[in-house]
Amino acid sequence: MPIKQYNPTTPARRGMTTQDLSEITTRKPLKSLTKSKKQNAGRNNTGRITVRHRGGGVKRHYRLMNHNLADGLVLTIEEIEYDPNRSARIARVKDQHGLYHYILADTSMTKGKVIQSGAEAPIESSNRMPLGKIPVGTQIYAIELHPGKGAQMVRSAGTKAQLMAKEGDYAQVRMPSGEVRRFRLEATAAIGVVGNVQHQNVKIGSAGRNRRKGIRPSVRGVVMNAADHPHGGGDGGRHGPGKAPRTPWGQLTLGYRTRRRKYTDKMIVRSRHNAKRRK
C-alpha cells in the first residue's frame, strides 16, 4: 500500500502525504457496532487536565471491537473499513451464527476470506488460536496478556511479534520493541502482520491537520515564565534549560526511566533496551 502525495499547491501541501485508502471496501460503518464518543479535552472525571494538548477535533464514533473471539467461530470477512480511533484497519466479519464482529485487519485479509478461531483452527494467516498451537518462528499479532481477557499487545498498524520458543507453560515472544517476553501457552494470538503498514510514513504537513485530530499546540518550557515551567524565566534572552530536562511539575524527563511495574519483570526474558544495543 503506497503513500499518496499531494500536489504542492501550498507550502504545507508540499510536504504532506496521506494514506492510500484503496483497500477499504466501504465508507459506512455498521450502526449496531458503533457508539458515540465524547470529547473530554484531556480531562478526567473531576475536570482536571490529565493529558495536555488535547481538545477540539472532528467528531468520531467508536467502533465496538471484539478482541476476544470465542472458540470454534468460522468468520467470513464482509468489509475492510477505516477506523478513526486507531492506526490499523478493521474488518467487519460475520460468524456462522449470523452475528457481526469488528476485528483488526491484517495484511492478508480481503473481502470474502474465511478465517477461524480456536485451538482446532488450521495454522493459516489471520486465524486466531492459543500460542501453544502456533509453530515456533511464526509472526503473530493481537496477543493476549492474560488468557481470556482479550488481545492487548501488538495491535498498532504494521506491527508484528515473533514466537521464539516454548518452555514449560510459557511461550517466549519477541515484541516489536525487541523485548523478549513470556506469555502463557493458553493465551491466544492471531497469525500475520497488522495491516496499514505504511502508516508510520505519513507526514502530517500542516498544523490544521493536527487540530482536526484533536491535538492542540505545544509550547516549549524555555519560552515560558519561571512561574509556569522549571525551564522558564531568565533576563538574558534565549537560553537552554540550564539543568536536566524536566516536566512542568519538576519530574525528570528525556531519558529518565519512569516504569514502575516491577511485577512484570519476571515475564521479561530480555529487555528492549539491551536488544536495541545489540543491533
Query: Is residue 275 pLDDT above 70, yes or no?
Result: no
Task: Give the helix, strand, coil percentages of the chain, each rounded to 5.
Answer: 15, 25, 60
Cα–Cα dist 125/190, whole Å: 8
- What pLDDT is attached to residue 47? 94
Q: Would the pLDDT of 276 be above 70? A: no
More confident residue, 177 or 276: 177
Query: What's the pLDDT at 260?
Result: 74
User: Would you say 124 and 136 are in contact if contact means Cβ atoms under 8 Å apart?
Assistant: no
Average pLDDT over the chain, rounded to an integer: 91
pLDDT at position 279 is 46
More confident residue, 34 or 255: 34
pTM for the model stands at 0.85
Whole-number Cα distances in Å, 55 to 40, 42, 43, 218, 237: 7, 7, 9, 12, 31
